[in-house]
């Protein structure tokens, strides 16, 4: 499920995590050559991604979305 980025924070290892509108977080690492996200390294780059949507896999899981409960 697509969710908007509403902020960022760093985890205990210093990696950046996107705070999503649904309340979940998703790591947004820059780890070339596998993952190329140089924008995450600067405040301006992160600010430019506010409002962008990421696929929240946690929202897609039945246990997180409330589906299949009961």
Cβ(7)–Cβ(19) below 8 Å: yes
Domain ranges of the chain: 2-65
Residue 65 has pLDDT above 60, yes or no: no
Kindly report, residue by residue over 8-44, the tens digit of the pLDDT. Answer: 999 999 999 999 999 999 999 988 888 899 999 999 9
pLDDT band of 70, cuts 50, 70, 90: very low
Question: What is the token pair recorded at 16?
Answer: 């950046």
pLDDT at 31: 86
**CA 67 → CA 35, 58, 63, distances in Å?**
32, 12, 6
């Amino acid at each position: 499920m697509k969710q908007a980025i509403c902020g960022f924070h760093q985890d205990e290892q210093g990696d950046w995590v996107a705070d999503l509108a649904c309340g979940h977080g998703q790591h947004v690492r820059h780890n070339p050559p596998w993952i190329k996200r140089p924008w995450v390294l600067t405040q301006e780059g992160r600010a430019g991604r506010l409002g962008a949507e990421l696929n929240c896999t946690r929202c897609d899981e039945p246990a997180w979305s409330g589906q299949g409960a009961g």
